[in-house]
Amino acid sequence: MTVLQAADLRFGFAGDTLFESVTFTLSLGDRVAIVAPNGSGKTTLLRILAGEIEPDAGSAILRRDATLGFYRQSHETAAKGDVLGAFLAGFGEVLTLREQLHDAQHAAASGTPEALRRLADVSDRYALAHGDEVERKVAILAGHLGFSERDLARPVESLSGGERGRLHLGVVLARQPEVLLLDEPTNHLDLDTIAWLESWLADYRGAVLIVSHDRAFLDTTCRATMELGRRSFRVYGARYSDYVKLREEDLQRERALAQRQQDMVDKTEDFIRKNIAGQKTKQAQSRRKMLDKLERLERPEDVWSAAERVAFRFAPAARTGDIVLEASGLGAERGGRRLFSDLSILVRRSERIGVVGPNGAGKSTLLKLLAGRGGPDDEGTVKRGTNLQPGYFDQHLGDVDPALTAVDNVRRVRGDFTVEAARQYLARFRFWGDDPLRMVSGFSGGERSRLALAKLLLEPKNLLFLDEPTNHLDIPASEILEEALVGFEGTVVLVSHDRRFLENVTTRIVSVRDGAAEVYPGGFKDYDDETRRRAQAAAQARDRRETPRKSAPPPKAASPEKDAKQKYEAQRQAARDIEKKKRRIQELEASIAAAEKDRDGLRAKLKQGPADDWEKLAKMAQEEQGLTRKVDTMLVEWAKLSEEVK
């Protein structure tokens, strides 16, 4: 069932088009990713779909009776009341009754008959609204997002930025709307919570549209991928990793076709110039008319090309000794809570160590201890090797001064840089035009992250401490940083929750959780496999312990005739629904096969010579693109139905 339709959406600023021709539909059960570099308008598109801003052209229509939830990066949660009240914000009646019940309980302390009657009345209405059940469900959801039972009573204004992000996500999820728009939902989540969110979305019955730079999260949650460009909008019935390969194949084919047409145009124009006044005037005039009527094929838009021009290059640095850090007996407490203790680790040259664990476990604290930035009460010693030139990336971007321009931030580190030299350097980090002269206070999170990395790499470094370096980077920037770190000749200690980044970069893992820190040999994939193996073994051991204690279930009472009839009718209806879906799957398979055959035939013709009929060839190219979109749409529906009838 379709719940959201977007038709020919266009939007821009001051006459500069941000995107156009955006057309798609969302149905219940759809899981779709929107991808593009930072600044392409992904958040703007979500805001249009949510009805917050009007498009310049086109329409976005939500089904009349459908509800919509929108998780924003900026997580503007009202700083009033307690955390539980904020979680209940989507349940208006329950929240109102909860507040009335709270007031009535205070008033009942007077013991007057009127106050006691009011307390009884409000308590009854709260029970009829299933307030306790709603609160229990919300408390379970809050627990999965890292809020303890004690946290639920905290005032919202006491929460940190990351906690507010998780609160806002919980507020949106708790309502379980038919349409869910998620803008970078994993930014403030740890690995455990991301895994929980993936499983929650797998069971969610509504439609989901996700903007994220977390490639592993997109692969796990989304069955289709939409690419947002300035003048193109591509839809692929494939997960992100497959989309990357498919789009490259499409771009190569479309570039080749556009080049072949351009070669024909150049050849024809050359013929016209040479013969317009000679004996072949009529032929030249005929070919000119043909060119005038020809529908020109534009070179395909590669939305990632500019984003891929980031250059994270490390300046040559001195070679360190083989032993870079030797830590012994490291331990720390924060707020009276033990984070970890008695951690010893030897860090060798060229190692890339990843620190992982739940939010609040002490990952950043451990990184600071290793970097020599710990507090006076922290425990243990860290012996440092020779020739160290350390650099530190702070996830809060404290090294970036928002009161200065990007150029001034760079010149704070390199006073020998002229303004032009600073601008040339910043161009390596995708700051072009007037961007280097803008105040940093107006920068996006991604721009600030790139500027912080630019400052870090201004001087030679052979030991890097990186705290969530990819948090605000888009996918190309994250991938380029990965490549740079893998090729880095120095040593890296990093904190991250980006699984693909951790898989591609790390050579050893330190896990911090439950008041302890443990060192795992091998990279993140080895650590992940070992963690899963331990969890499975623990679950099996728990089942073996509990099995003898389980008493045989009591025999079921005979079902009343009415219940049996209802059960029978429900089974018949479920069987009819399954058969209907199976028939639709067969129809889709036949339609997909026919459309793929037609598309492949068109592609074969497009590879052949044009025989000078370029107008026909242009129409064929449009038909091929239309068939490709049609096949992708049918594949998405086929995949969804196939999962439902398993």
Residue 387 DSSP label: S
Calpha distance 635→633 (Å, rounded)? 5
Concatenate the DSSP letters of all residues of 213-237 into one string.
S-HHHHHHH-SEEEEE-SS-EEEES
Residue 363 lies in a domain: yes
282: helix, strand or coil: helix
Query: Binning pLDDT at 50, 70 and 90, where does residue 104 land?
Result: confident
191 closest CA partner among 533, 485, 468, 482:
468
Convert the pLDDT of each residue in 132-173 to its tens digit.
777 788 888 889 998 888 888 888 888 877 788 888 999 899
Pair 344, 456 in one domain? yes
Residue 18 lies in a domain: no
CA distance readout (Å), 258 to 96, 179, 621, 628 = 62, 39, 10, 18
DSSP β-bridge partners for residue 24: 6
Task: Tell how strand 207-211 and strand 179-183 pair up.
Answer: parallel
Residue 33 lies in a domain: no
Predicted local confidence at residue 588, as pLDDT:
81
Residue 442 lies in a domain: yes
Calpha distance 396→367 (Å, rounded)? 14
Residue 152 lies in a domain: yes
Query: Binning pLDDT at 50, 70 and 90, where does residue 622 land?
Result: low
Convert the pLDDT of each residue in 49-82 to its tens digit.
999 999 999 999 999 989 999 998 865 655 578 8
Is residue 208 within 8 A of residue 32, CB to CB? The reply is yes
Predicted local confidence at residue 276, as pLDDT:
82
Section 228-242 average pLDDT: 93
Pair 393, 485 in one domain? yes
Task: Tell how strand 31-35 and strand 224-228 pair up.
Answer: parallel
Q: What is the pTM of this model?
A: 0.77
Domain closes at, from 134, 161, 177? 177
pLDDT reading at 468 higher than 90: yes
User: Which residue spans within 14-123 are E strands per DSSP?
Assistant: 16-27, 31-35, 57-62, 68-71
Predicted local confidence at residue 482, as pLDDT:
93
Pair 291, 341 in one domain? no
Q: What's the structural domain count of the chain?
A: 4
CA distance readout (Å), 352 to 226, 446, 493 = 34, 24, 6
Domain closes at, from 177, 206, 221? 177
Strand 179-183's sheet: what is its strand order? 68-71, 179-183, 207-211, 31-35, 224-228, 233-236
Convert the pLDDT of each residue in 575-585 to its tens digit.
777 878 888 88
Predicted local confidence at residue 617, as pLDDT:
62
Residue 240 lies in a domain: no
pLDDT reading at 616 higher than 70: no
pLDDT reading at 461 higher than 70: yes
pLDDT reading at 565 higher than 80: no
Pair 350, 273 in one domain? no
Strand 516-521's sheet: what is its strand order? 390-393, 463-467, 491-495, 352-356, 508-513, 516-521
Predicted local confidence at residue 606, as pLDDT:
65
Pair 439, 479 in one domain? yes
Pair 375, 503 in one domain? yes
Pair 291, 326 in one domain? no
Distance of CA 139 to the CA centre of its chain: 25
Pair 510, 443 in one domain? yes
Convert the pLDDT of each residue in 15-25 to its tens digit.
789 999 999 99
Pair 389, 522 in one domain? yes
The 3-class secondary structure across 411-435, one letter per residue, is HHHCCCCCHHHHHHHHHCCCCCCCH
Cβ partners under 8 Å of residue 14, min gap 6: none
Lowest mean pLDDT segment, chosen from 74-88, 112-126, 342-356, 558-572: 558-572
For 514, the domain range is: 315-535
Domain closes at, from 177, 211, 238? 177
Convert the pLDDT of each residue in 329-361 to its tens digit.
999 999 889 999 999 999 999 999 999 999 889
Residue 191 lies in a domain: no
Section 585-614 average pLDDT: 73
Question: Sign of torsion, CA 48 51 54 59?
Answer: positive
Section 551-559 average pLDDT: 55
